[in-house]
Chain A
Amino acid sequence: MKIDLKSLTIKKAHEAMKNGEYTPLELADAYLEVIKEKNDELNIFLEIFNDVPEQAKHAGVMFKNGEAGAMTGIPVGIKDNILFEGHKASAASKILEGYTATYDSTVVRKLREAGAVILGRLNMDEFAMGASTENSAYGPTKNPVDPERVPGGSSGGSAAAVAANMCLASLGSDTAGSIRQPSALCGVVGLKPTYGNVSRSGLIALGSSLDVIGPIAMNVEDVEIVYECIKGEDRMDSTSKPESLYERKEIGKPVIGIPRHFLKMDGVNEKVLENFANAEDKLKTLGYEVKDVQLTNARYAVPAYYIILPAEASANLARFDGVKYGLHVGGENLIEDYSKTRGAGFGPEVKRRILIGAYVLSAGYSDAYYNKATAVRDLIAQDYKDAFKEVDVILTPTTAGPAFKLGEKVNDPVAMYLEDVFTVPANHVGLPAISIPSGTVSVDGKNLPLGVHFVAPHQREDLLLKISKDFLKNA
């Protein structure tokens, strides 16, 4: 039987499997067929797990026994930095070549308990460092909308897989925009939950004060279903939070704030501003009140990030030493073992960031860089706190431009860093944020997707989901 994957949603698939129109195995096979057809060109999945049929049959049993929930039998992909016991995970790095996960990440455990079918692992920038998926040691992923262009990153594989109908939903991780930016550039929906709302146990760490796992899917309802499945406090992650940590006020129709000064920065594409103005008009037509807000220090969010992140990454990546797992390159002594393994195993961007991390943390520089950056981070947090006294969500474009061509920015690290300009402030502050499609712009005869981006106060994912549904329902 032919299943129409293009218009499929998690809810529709659930109903169809419940009514016996097709089985989880048939659904998984339909997606595997698409992967087989397109993956050689697009390089989205790094590996299809060989136990997919087993997983799907198990989901079938759950349906038969009346134990099926919303995620049972739903085919999903996971970013290559999320551990699934007995399966390979490499963070798209040569240094983890051959590594097999020795335990389940909490998000995978939750997906498996719900009966989801995990098809395989998805390409990404090495250790999630990048905004184009070109930093993968296994070659770049191409944007399904236009294969000459990047899908964004670092969860480029996760966004592209959904856009190419290779899975119904996927998991990505977001440290500066790595779920939201690729979602915008591929025309799908990506949610970065509140810092701590989703356990990171079993996520290969990049920047521990910033990293969050979140879902990507075609529509807001699907993103919500996956989020409901993976969220929750977890004793395996000491930074995960109880759901009631923050004060929660009753909000009727959310008031929208726009930081207009922030949109006027250099490098924001005219077409993006035009697209954004249309989105704003639409929200006003839908009856939303729109106010201006000031995020005075948001302009320092990218430079502060590229101090804090390398500092944290240089510490987190110290564990890759050729001793415990993955690649080992031998030298004359142990120190040489470390240096040779790390020299051979890490790609150029990872090396750059580790060296920057060592620099900004070294004696004599840590006040000027690291400590200053953490102080700036507090100021950014205060700006949001002040803004949220006036408004309930903050709206900006997701990116400064549509998907760029492969190779266009790969030799200019700073240009690549500016991809995060609208998304990274939410990571500094730990706020939840979502990117949703806001139409397309025509570039060189191709219609390229853009996204708009809402940020809400801590643990107010409900506001993001509500306003996003409203926006897209009236598309």
Chain B
Amino acid sequence: MIDLLWLVIALPLGGAAFLHFFGRYVREPLSGWLASAAIGTAFFIAAIAAVPFFQGEAEPSTIPIWEWMPALGANFELLWDPLAALMTLVVTGVGTLIHVFAIGYMHGDERFHRFFTNLNLFAASMLTLVLAGNYAMLFLGWELVGLCSYLLIGFWHTRPTAAAAAKKAFVVNRIGDLGFMIGLMVVFATFSTFSYSGIFERAGEELTGGLATAIGLLFLVGAAGKSAQIPLYVWLPDAMEGPTPVSALIHAATMVTAGVYVIARSAPIYEFTPFASTVVASVGALTAIWAASIALAQRDIKKVLAYSTISQLGFMFLAVGATAYVAGIFHLMTHAFFKALLFLGAGSVIHAMSDEQDMHRMGGLFRKMPVTAVTMAIGALALAGIPPLAGFWSKDEILAADFARGGWFYFLWIIGLITALLTAFYITRLWVLVFLGEPRWEEKAHPHESPRVMTLPLIALAALSFVGGLVNTPFRLTLEHFLEPSFEGVHIQHATDDWLTLAILAGLSILAAAAGAGAGYLAYRRPPERWRRFEDSFEPLWGTWEQAYGVDDLYGLTLVTPGRRLAEAAAFSFDAGVVDGAVNGVGRVVRGMGDWIRPLQTGFVRNYGVLFLAGAVVVVAWLVAGGS
């Protein structure tokens, strides 16, 4: 099956190519089903190819495809190992469900087939990223997912806010990419290759004198861009301008986890730089609590989920920074399930409410759309970390690993615990505001349950969110053993073996989750006046959170505006005035000569002769001066 692995990328790519050129001849639902079939088939191929890893008997293998940039040792080659396999299964599995959901969600859009073209292209790009056998090819996927993100955020291109958000996402990501690219320069200058195996084998001997730290920190810059960490997270909330399936697939389940994946993939480099790892974990922890606090006060249902995603990605950074790679990847997987579910659920609600996203104008939707409500409840509980749902196991493993690491990580553990409490609160708030209480929408809104094509993916994701955590519990470390070949020779941080400590830590996590969820329920179960007053009692903090700490304004004031001023000064004062002014000054002298040659279109040969003569004069002068 490994020989057919290239099909995993080729199928969605082919789907995208087909729909790009012939999509407009394919009727509406069919193009969506074609795209879904392409990625669904990719899932099955990947699943079959991954069987040997489940049996624990296969070695990672590299599959060359063709030469790309031989001077850099950068070729198209796939690496098939458990980590790549797990990522592939998540991307294609969750991806297929979201494709199917989108068939219902995008119904009636005049560019329906274009949407699925881009969605399939995204899948192919993301799979290139995770299946790449070297950093150059990873970077190819890395940039292509950025392109697809740009195209899909700005899908409704007539909305100026969507277009601006798309550009912002791409540019901010490019800033991260700059760091990543400089990291690649250092890697190449050090190892003369981009191939994982070539680099990791020699990491120990080559990475001396701060090189590992440099690479580790530069990769972190790239990862912070793609995975929306401080200070580069500002593009992700805006990215919610894209259609909701896009938010679910790209901006929650898959693309934004690429930063986590890169750090996990580069574990053999981080092995030599505990400092960079600690920075990764600290950035993650800070981002987690920062974004969670913003999520508390958002009114837009998608904005809550966006900040929640940033916060949860922070948890994953907290894990991989503590070298708890398995826990990080585990949380990446469970998060893909429950966050995709929450986003799709939100999409179902928005769809039902005729594009309403303000939770203040929702309420009481449980009876109108029970499937969405129940599945979202499962997603919310999973995110909150209530056992035995998926999020509990992965989040608890991260916190336990950080606790076991000790030192500075005790502090990060406390931040993580507080964040867990905030998380449970804001997601409960969201669910209660949307589904319980009195309806706050106008009668003519007519909310309704979504069609089967949308609810079935919700049910599937709810099932995964329910049981997905059981693949790695302290009682049975299936995922850990599965991923072992990918982290051979790398130190992995584990939770303590001491069952009592473990139980106390788990108890604390559960307590935090229950407290947050309980408080959220009690606060928002009440009539609107009461919870409004509750929110007001937190002023001015609440307003600060609602304004997301004003970071966008701060960036605008300190970076964007001065940047534009600088560019204007360079273009209109310096370039047009000084540089071109000097040229024209010289030109005016020459113009004396030019005035003769004004009747251009008649006396060309003579004019040219004059110039030639002028050249010759310079030559003679030069030679006289003894140039040779």
Do the two chains bind?
no
Chain B residues near A (Cβ < 8 Å) = none
